[in-house]
Each structure stands twice: as structure tokens, then as C-alpha cells.
Amino acid sequence: MIDIQLVGLLNATLQAATLLFIAALGELITEKSGILNLGVEGMISIGAVTGFMTAINTQNILLSVLVGILSSSVFASIHALVTVVLKQDQTVSGLILTILGLAVSALLGKNYVGKKLETKLENISSINEPSNILEVLISQNIIFYIAVVLMIITSYVLKNTMFGRRLEAVGEDSRSSDSMGLKIAKTQFIATCVGGAFAGLSGVYLTLSYVPYWTDNMTSGRGWIALALVIFGGWKPYRTALGALLFGFLEALVPRLQTYGFELSPYIVKITPYIITILVLIILTVYKGGITGAPKNIGVPFFRENR
Amino acid sequence: MRRSMAVGLLIISILTMACGGAADVDDYKAAFVYVGPADDGGWSQAHDVGRQFLVDETGIETAYTELIPEDATEFRTVAEAYIEQGYNIIFGTTFGYIDAMAEMAEEYPDVIFLHCSGYLSNDSNFGNYFGKMYQPRYLSGLAAGAMTESNKIGYVAAFPIPEVIRGINAFATGVKEVNPDATVEVVWTFTWFGPEEETQAANALIETGVDVLAQHQDSPSTGVVAETNGAKWISYNTAYGQEAAPGAFVTAPVWAWGPYYVDVVNTIIDGEFAGGAYWGGMDTGLVSLYELSSDVPSDIADLISQKTEQIVAGEFDPPIVEEEFIDNVIGTVSP
């Protein structure tokens, strides 16, 4: 038997972490192929609004999730088109994707602001008031378990499959990969769209479960934290998950510290994720000679003709 | 008879024109600058509803620009474009425009600047305006105190600044009056608008056992949490969120800028505007308590309407405490 507030803290940690982790995992896959996509915030937003609109109109939760994933993926293909096919600057294109995504989702969602969602993503088991850690773990939302499965699959695919090897090769050294006959553009295009799909899933989790309604600017910066998470996690799925738990824990802690009666300033808790990320980068630079885990070709467009 | 009246009117109007004194509404054009979307369902929408009321009542020509960040340059660009087009009354409806408005009031002495929620003004063409929101907050506290069964009420609050603190204290004063055993627990989110932060804060309060939630925030997240957990909810700004959380919604302290906008524009037309600060209470209609939901006990509803009358008549005013929390509030004003 543990304290109800402790259960609440754990629950809230897992909720906040799930949102951050899925988006970060998608970005990790994209970045592994050498494409930096700063449009995470916009992609989450697109998935969130399209999923919510579908849920309001059809009451079909599975369809809503699929629509959210697909529309974010299609939206991410804009970035793929600009950076992979047209070989334009990835930073600029990604930033535009964020601004565009927020604006388009605000426009799409105009008539859905403040509407009540009748069908939510339900929790998987029916334990209403979990009283121990095990019960909390088995009574999470279905997306939480999907996130865990995605983490295991992604890690396996990256390490042990041909596709994962190719992805890494393209991101590390596109010139050699090209000489070896790998299809650079195709790999990067797929990786970018997969990243978008993950961000979309994160978005539908936001509006169909975590904060179940729609209003402009729903994401309020979570996409940027997801980007920081990829760096924190050193482009490794398990370490990214650990980071998501830590960041989620801190987010859940801010209001709860106050109800526990601690006098610690919430401002300090709020800036901690960013300080930790910077510290991790510094420590890796000092002790590992700058090996942060970043793919070497990240952000560099591949021109076959350039020698 | 009728003809003589018409002749009389004609003479009067010729006389006034000859004197060149009183202006009329066609001499003025009013522009509004909003920080959020005009249909955000909260703060900016409340101002836009006020603008439409102004148009309906006075027939003045108005225009608005939405989504202008709290940034001096951004505000100046918009306001100067309006002044070039002949707009001579500029309303800035968020705190962050304060410096730009103060500077521009000096540069453009013929244009009247009105700033919402600020503290700067002069005695000619620059005024500020705000409302005594603590009055309806006190009334909503009466409802909250009566409706809690666990005697624990949660309050999701934005920033520890005087405006928010006096709102919490007024609310808690109302709670205490009907239910001396109940406490009001405060959690700061450090954001005016943050759906995730507000959700986390509301959940944290639910975990401490609260069964009524109030808020000083601009999103309805707290209401959605209340709805999910079978708790009750006092909204804010407008009746926003009533649709998103119909079961939880009890009432809301709300803004109605329309009557003030009509008054101030009439004062300007009459040539009597002299800058200064305006702080309107419930007697002006600027702030009020939204219609109570049907599950508020009838004796409390009667008490609320009785207190409303007293406040409107100026016989009673909830105490203003902004330095610290009163004794039934749990939390700290300087976290």
C-alpha cells in the first residue's frame, strides 16, 4: 500500500513521459538517417488536431489515431521533399514546418475549440484507483504500452536488421553508402515520414487522452523538449526513454512539490531538463572526446556530384 | 408642430456647428490590438465581444488586429498603421504593450491610447483600465464552499502577482463565509496558458482530495480534469469550457468590456476624456458572475444574489489582500 499522491506522481510521470518519448523516438529515427527535422512541434500539433477532429466527427477512436498518424506523416513529407529531394537547408525547412504546423492546426481546429470529446482513448485495465506500483504500471493508457513496444522494436531494428544498418550508414557517411549502392534519398525520405508518424501518434495521445480537448497551441513547447531528449539520449532508444522518464518526472513534480508543501522553487525544477541536457553534452565532450552519438552527416544535404 | 420641431433642430445643429464644439461619432475611429486570436474563447474574445457591443451601441467605426505578441515593436507597427489610416482611439488589451503605448501617447498627442491591465497613464490622451475581478471571485467562493463535500478546494493559479493573489484571497473569503472548515489549496503553474501544465496542476490537486477546482488560467484544462474525476469546476474569463466540461461547470467570474468601451468612447466624443486610471467593479457591469448551474443549492444561490446586490449598491466589498494568503488558503505567495 503506497500513498495516493505517490501513485499520482508516478501516473503523471508516465503520462508526460509517453508524450515526449514517442515524438523523440520518431525524431531519433529521422536523425539517424542524417536528416534534422526541427518541425516536431508542428507535426505533433497536426496529429493532435486531425485526430481530435476525426474523433469528434466519427466517434471512432481507432480511425482517429490512424488519421492523426497519417496526416503528420504526410505533413513530414514536406520536409522530406524540401531537404531530401530539393536538398535545401534542413534547419530552415524544419523551423518552417513548426510554424506552418501550428498555424495550419489552429486554422483546422477553429470550430473544434472547447468541444467535449465523447470517446477517449481508454486505459487498458479497469483499475480505477491503483494502490501499488504494479497496478499503476498495468493500468496505463494503451498508447503507453505501444510506446514501450515501439522502443523495443526501434532498438532491435536499429541494431540487428539490415534496414537499421543502412539507416545508420546513410546518416554516418552518405558518400560511402552511396558508393556501396544504398539509396540515400529513399532511406532519408522514409525515415523522415516515420518520424512524422511517431510525432502524429504523440499528438493523438495528447488530444485523445492526456489533455482531451483542442485549443490553439496545445503542444506549448513539448516538441522542443522532445528534440532535446534525442540529444540527451545520445541517439539511443533506451537512453531516450530514460530521459523521457526523467523529464516527465520533473514536469509532474512541479505542481506536486507545492501540494507536498516543499519550499523548492518550481522555476528551478522547470529549467532542470535543459540544464541536464547541456551537462550531458559537456560531460560527453570532456570524457568521451566529443562522441555524443550524433550521426556524422546530420544536417548535411547529400549531393552525389560534390566530390 | 412637427415642422417647427424640425426647424428647431436645424437651428440647434447649425448653432452647434457654428460653435465648433461638440464632435460626433463619425469623427472617431477605434482600433483594437489583441494578444491572442479574437475567438480564443477566453481573454481576447472577451475584448472582441466588447468591441462588437461598442459598435452596436455607438455606431463607431472599429477595426482589430489579433495575435500581436507582447512586444513593443510589434505593437508599434500595428498601431502606426492604424493611425495612418485615421484611427484616433487605440485599445491595447494586454499588459505587455505598456511601454510602447506610453511612448506613442507622447508622440501622437491627438490619438487616444487606452491600455488594459497596465498602471501607466497621463492626464490627456493615455488611460488604463481594468476590473475588480476579486468581487465576482468572492461570489464564486460562496458557491465553491457550499458545494465541497471533502472540505478541500483546489485553485490552479498562473503567477504569484497581486492581481492573482487578491483573487485567491477573495475566493477563499467567500469559501470561509459559508464553510469555515473548508480549505483552498493553491498550485502555481507559472503560465497564463499551458494546457499540459494546467492539467498536471489540476491532477495534483485532485490527488490531495479536492472535489471543487477553481482557476486563474486561460485554458479549460482544469475543467476537463474536474469532469473526468467527477469534481466541480469554477471557470474564468468567459463561460468558456462549459461545453467541454458540462457536468463539472458551476459558474465563472467573467469579463464584460462592452459597457466600459461605450462609456469611454462617449466620454471621448463629449471631449471630457482626461486619461487616468479606471478600475470598474460589478456596479459598472465590467465584471460579473456567470449564471449558476442548476446544482448550486438554492439557499446559496439566494445568498449569492443578495451579496451581488450589496456589492453593486456599494454596501459591501470583499477585502483586498495581496501580500499574503488568508488563513484558510494552503500554499505560499512566494514559491
In angstroms, the separation between the Cα of residue A95 and the nearest Cα of chain B is 19
pLDDT value at B13 more than 70: no
Question: How far is the C-alpha of A117 from the C-alpha of A208, rounded, in Å?
Answer: 8
Mean pLDDT of B250-273: 94
Maximum distance among all alpha carbons in chain B? Answer: 77
Question: How far is the C-alpha of B197 from the C-alpha of A251, rounded, in Å?
Answer: 8
- With 0-12 CB in 10 A as exposed, 13-18 as middle and 19+ as buried, what is B7? exposed
pLDDT band at A128 (very low <50, low <70, confident <90, very high): low
Identify the pLDDT of residue B276: 93
Alpha helices in B92-161 (DSSP H): 98-107, 134-147
A159-163, A232-236, B7-11: least confident range: B7-11
Identify the pLDDT of residue B8: 52
Q: Does residue B133 sit at the A interface (CB-CB below 8 Å)? A: no
Identify the pLDDT of residue B133: 95
Domains and CATH numbers, chain A: 4-287 (1.10.3470)
Any residues with CB less than 8 A from the CB of A119 and at least 6 apart, and which?
Answer: A55, A59, A60, A61
Closest CA to A80 of A190, A200, A207, A218: A190
- Nearest residue of chain B to residue A248 (CA atoms): B200
Mean pLDDT of A221-239: 91
Task: Give the sheet arrangement for strand B152-157, strand by strand.
Answer: B249-251, B232-234, B212-216, B152-157, B183-188, B329-330
Average pLDDT over chain B reads 90
pLDDT band at A295 (very low <50, low <70, confident <90, very high): confident
pLDDT value at A122 more than 80: no
pLDDT value at B207 more than 80: yes
Identify the pLDDT of residue B44: 87
**Which residues does residue B129 pair with via DSSP β-bridges, in sequence order?**
B116, B278
Other CB atoms within 10 A of residue B120 CB: 16
Mean pLDDT of B86-91: 96
Inter-chain touch B207–A259, beta carbons under 8 Å: yes
Any residues with CB less than 8 A from the CB of A55 and at least 6 apart, and which?
Answer: A61, A64, A117, A119, A207, A208
Minimal Cβ distance to B196: which of A116, A222, A256: A222
Question: How far is the C-alpha of A24 from the C-alpha of A28, rounded, in Å?
Answer: 6
In angstroms, the separation between the Cα of residue B220 and the nearest Cα of chain A is 7
SS3 content of chain A, % helix, strand, coil (to 5): 70, 0, 25
**Which residues does residue B234 pair with via DSSP β-bridges, in sequence order?**
B214, B251
Domain covering B26-131+257-284, topology: Rossmann fold (3.40.50)
- Nearest residue of chain A to residue B204 (CA atoms): A256
Identify the pLDDT of residue B6: 55
pLDDT value at B46 more than 70: yes
Window A:166-205, CB contacts with B under 8 Å: none
pLDDT band at B329 (very low <50, low <70, confident <90, very high): very high
ipTM of predicted assembly, 2 dp: 0.85
pTM of the entire structure?
Answer: 0.85
Q: Does residue B153 sit at the A interface (CB-CB below 8 Å)? A: no
Domain boundaries defined on chain B: 26-131+257-284, 134-252+290-330
pLDDT value at B118 more than 70: yes
- One-letter amino acid identity for B170? A
Q: Kindly report, residue by residue over A26-44, the tens digit of the pLDDT.
A: 999 999 999 999 999 999 9
Asked whether the domain spanning B134-252+290-330 has the same topology as the one spanning B26-131+257-284, the reply is yes
Identify the pLDDT of residue B2: 52
A116 chain-B contacts, CB cut-off 8 A: 227, 243-246
pLDDT value at A104 more than 50: yes
Mean pLDDT of A169-182: 89
Identify the pLDDT of residue B16: 46
CATH of B134-252+290-330, one of 3.40.50.10490, 3.40.190.10, 3.40.30.10, 3.40.50.2300: 3.40.50.2300
B93 vs A289 pLDDT, higher one: B93
Question: How far is the C-alpha of B182 from the C-alpha of B185, rounded, in Å?
Answer: 10
Inter-chain touch A114–B243, beta carbons under 8 Å: yes
Q: Kindly report, residue by residue over B124-183, the tens digit of the pLDDT.
A: 999 999 999 999 999 999 999 999 999 999 999 998 888 899 999 999 999 999 999 999
Identify the pLDDT of residue B283: 93
Inter-chain touch B201–A255, beta carbons under 8 Å: yes
Q: Kindly report, residue by residue over A67-84, the tens digit of the pLDDT.
A: 999 999 999 999 999 999
In angstroms, the separation between the Cα of residue A47 and the nearest Cα of chain B is 16
Inter-chain touch B207–A254, beta carbons under 8 Å: no
